[in-house]
Structure 1
């Protein structure tokens, strides 16, 4: 473990991160459900059946969306969900390496335990474990750590998929033979 911040303060960040990631998935699903109900709702008795189909479809899409945000996205983006990136957190193995996809899958499956009673089980487990791990972290042998703030780290990746669009800015800015007025 790289040891960069696993104190009690990280528990609050993790709670906020979980809420933000859930909202990132749930708000678009809710807006889509409202649009579908408004545009395609049937009249009369069939409305209740239609609403059940919309709710079950929305829950299934929410499940897929949460799997994507909590499993696939951090696997492909350095152990960070979008909210983890905003809050400067990341998932690493207990020895400090980037976890494989199977580890993220185990963590997500264990959310059935951690998410019980609106996440209270996960919060309690984080507060009593030495490394502030939820049950899914203990089983998967991972920790969530703070990422040190870097002056060069952008909030979002640049257009080239990296954190910076220009590899060596001194080459772009240090040329004396290039002028804005087109003269030499």
Structure 2
């Protein structure tokens, strides 16, 4: 893939994307945990402490599964994008520009443990030092996160539908122009 070296702005968008995806997972689980603790807690201090421990472990497991769902399954099924990547116009692609296989997303997620070292500073430093702004998970998985702002989407309001390049239509074997209702043969 011959793309120009992305600037540090891509790194900032990737940090924002990670935080948004984490919030997307954590906030509903935290709200649910608070509601469960408020309305289903047992009576007595000892039973309440035991209940909170069980709830904490359960919340951690549910959060881990939900985060893996958002970082592995969702982008694999939705064109290399997590929900926050879609909002920030980012996409995970292979080095050739194609859709990464499921194992690439698994490798990226597993190596988030290394990239997340020291509150994510290790991943940020690696991204700033690599030419394609890849973190360790991307380097090992053979993927790169690219900006998808320039991808074709819906037609722009200027009428760029891409349907007809000129005011002539090909009908059968002849070219027929649309100039004032007159037929023009070439």
Q: 2:27 & 2:107 partners in 1: Cα distance?
A: 25
List, as ranges, runs of 4+ consecutive aligned residues in structure 1 with deviation greater than 3 Å: none
Tell me whether 1:50 sits opposite 2:58 in the alignment: no
Counterpart of 1:23? 23
CA offset at residue 4 of structure 1? 7.0
Number of residue equivalences? 154
Tell me whether 1:129 sits opposite 2:130 in the alignment: yes
Counterpart of 1:61? 62
CA offset at residue 132 of structure 1? 0.5
CA offset at residue 151 of structure 1? 5.6
TM-score using structure 2 length: 0.78
Name whichever of 115-124 and 9-18 sits farther off. 115-124
**What runs of 5+ residues in structure 2 fail to find an aligned partner?**
156-162, 164-186
Q: Give per-residue Cα distances to partners, 1:53-79, cap 9 Å, x unaligned.
A: 111111101110011100000000110
Counterpart of 2:94? 93
**What runs of 5+ residues in structure 1 fail to find an aligned partner?**
154-167, 169-184
TM-score using structure 1 length: 0.79
Counterpart of 2:103? 102
The alignment yields a C-alpha RMSD, in angstroms, of: 1.7
CA offset at residue 48 of structure 1? 1.0
Tell me whether 1:152 sits opposite 2:136 in the alignment: no
Q: 1:138 & 1:148 partners in 2: Cα distance?
A: 23
Residues 35 and 91 of structure 1: is their aligned pair in 2 closer, same or farther, counting only changes over 3 Å?
A: same
Counterpart of 1:163? none
Q: 1:50 & 1:5 partners in 2: Cα distance?
A: 52
Counterpart of 1:78? 79
Structure whose alpha-carbon radius of gyration is higher: 2
Given that 2:5 and 2:131 are in contact with CA atoms closer than 8 Å, whether structure 1 keeps it comes out as no
Relative contact order: is structure 1 or structure 2 higher (C-alpha 8 Å, sep ≥ 6)? Answer: 1
Counterpart of 2:183? none
